[in-house]
Amino acid sequence: MKRRGQSLVETSLILAAFLGLLLGMVSIGQMLFVRQTFSERVHEGARWGAVNRYDVTAIRNLVLYGSTAPAAGATPFMGLAPSEVVVAQPGCPGLQCRVMVAIPAQGIQSTEPAENSDRVTDDGPSKP
């Protein structure tokens, strides 16, 4: 008589463990997706800045919105703030001119050599 609820208890314990494992895998997958997307956008921004005319706003928009000219009312990816995106041109002007884009809080950085070494530069890292 005492074994009647045993299978129900065992099923609920196994189900709880399985759902915990499943939710953990989903959250880790989401975290990896967000980090990879940030990394890809930072790389695209650095590459775009190296190939095109250096424009801090366009590079920052590419990282934040995925487009150099976002639509009105567009929201940044995962709530990333413009102040969290650093854009700089170390070594410019000159042969060692680079375009560096980073999200320091995420530990993501990409540096690309500028294709046009006689670029006009500003004085140091950008500020939003």
Distance CA 46, CA 108 (A): 12
pLDDT tens per residue across span 18-71: 999 999 999 999 999 999 999 999 999 999 999 998 899 999 999 999 999 999
Distance CA 18, CA 4 (A): 23
pLDDT band per the 50, 70, 90 thresholds, residue 115: confident
> What residue ranges do the domains of the chain occupy?
6-113
pLDDT band per the 50, 70, 90 thresholds, residue 6: confident
Q: Contact 48/68 with Cβ under 8 angstroms?
A: yes
Six-digit token pair at 114?
Answer: 């500028």
